Amino acid sequence: MPARLIINGKKADRPDVRDAVRRLRREGHALEVRVTWERGDAARLVSEAAREGVERVIAGGGDGSVNEIANGLMAVDPATRPALGILPLGTANDFATACGVPTDPAAALALAVTGTPVPVDLVRANDAYFVNVASGGFGAAVTADTPVELKNFLGGGAYTIMGLLKAINFRPYACAIRTPQGAVEGGVVIGAICNGRQAGGGQPLAPHALIDDGLLDVVFLRPFPVASAPQVAAEIAGRATTATFVVRLEVPWIELEAREPLPINLDGEPIAESRVRFAVAPGCLRMVLPADCPCLS
């Protein structure tokens, strides 16, 4: 059966993508193309591909497109579930970049069509899955005086700690955190639950994470006084001898429970839940990645 490229409609007119498709077809590869225009299209097209016996679908877009197509694949019976290739066309492409997927469309598409699929983990968050990173906490504009280590920790300048800590109404999120290693005490300013390694446009959150080890790499930042900002920055950068404010764990599952909904995003897709269980789904999806992918064990 031919491979099927499911491409974000905003990227479908790119000349380099069209050239890459034509080149593969000239080389004798059967490659079909479907285009998404609105929410729900990707899941529908994945379901259609599985029904028609397509053995490989390719997500053409950014991290959000990869997430949407991966969720569509997880709704397919494992016996007929196609493998997933990636054509990175987004702004950040964090998951693909960390995995070493080529940025050149021709090279990426050739890999997606001809490469060998390998089993990888996804993470289930209640009823949804994510491929790369789930993050949670407060959102605001990053101020110029925020230490660079904090900006890196928070992923691409989407958040500010320093300004909010100085605000009178700042309140960390109080939630119960449970893991197989026991409870994590204290409130949370922001956190990341990682399957992949980076988010926010190349910011490393879990630089040693593997996508086939059956484990989540979890990072939490506890509330801290402004005077402790240098210590926090040192902990995030890995320079501190003791960890007071930054918690790092490797666990197969973690549960968060709060009295009010927690703002969380899964590969950029927002959810708000007062209780979330994150659990690894080991080896649940076959994915086409480079043979030397650094995120594979």
Residues annotated as catalytic are: 269
Provide the 3-class DSSP secondary structure of residue 267.
coil
Q: Which residue has the tokens 């993508």?
A: 17
Q: Contacts from 9-15 at CB under 8 Å and sequence distance 24+?
A: 9/35, 9/36, 9/37, 11/60, 11/61, 11/89, 14/89, 14/105
Question: How would you class 79 by CB atoms within 10 Å of its CB: exposed for 0-12, middle for 13-18, buried for 19 or more?
Answer: exposed
Q: Which residue has the tokens 């999806």?
A: 285
**Nearest alpha-carbon partner for 61 in 16, 102, 6:** 6
